[in-house]
Amino acid sequence: MLEIGTKAPAFELPDQNGNVHTLEEYRGKKVVLYFYPKDNTPGCTKQACAFGDLYPQFTEKGAVVIGVSKDSVASHKKFEEKYDLPFTLLSDPELSCIQAYDVWKEKNMYGRKTMGVVRTTYLIDENGVIIRAFGKVKAADNPAQMLGELKAEEEQA
């Protein structure tokens, strides 16, 4: 996991509509960047839907929510449409962003060691610096937790 206080790695990835996004375009806003293993799995669906439910509160705080997985653009589009997700999902099949953010790790699946995305969420400030980092987050609780972190940031400011 990347250290708090470090500059967030740049990325250039397509979203669920095929539009390319970069971290730089979000300069001036806080970014909740969350990495998840796979579209349409129970934990990832809970997490995405909870971010969707709380999305208006994130935008009120001047923050954007971006989900990243190695799923394809087409998979993200189906996931977005099925659950009416109001935020950006980035496709990273080459693992460039996933590896840059240090979330591609060895995992133990039913006694077998495999490589995969460890569910991780970063809060990046308006200047592109990581101000919060959470690894192995609980899918259903993570969106409310991140909203709480944004509120704490506001109070400190």
Active-site residues: which are they? 44
Residues 113, 93 contacting (CB under 8 angstroms): no
Q: What H or E segment, with its residue span, contains residue 149? A: helix 142-156
* SS3 call for 144: helix
Q: What is the DSSP string of 62-125?
A: TEEEEEEESS-HHHHHHHHHHHT--SEEEE-TT-HHHHHTT-EEEEEETTEEEEEE--EEEEE-
Residue 46 dihedral angles phi and psi, to the nearest 5°: -60, -45
* SS3 call for 54: helix
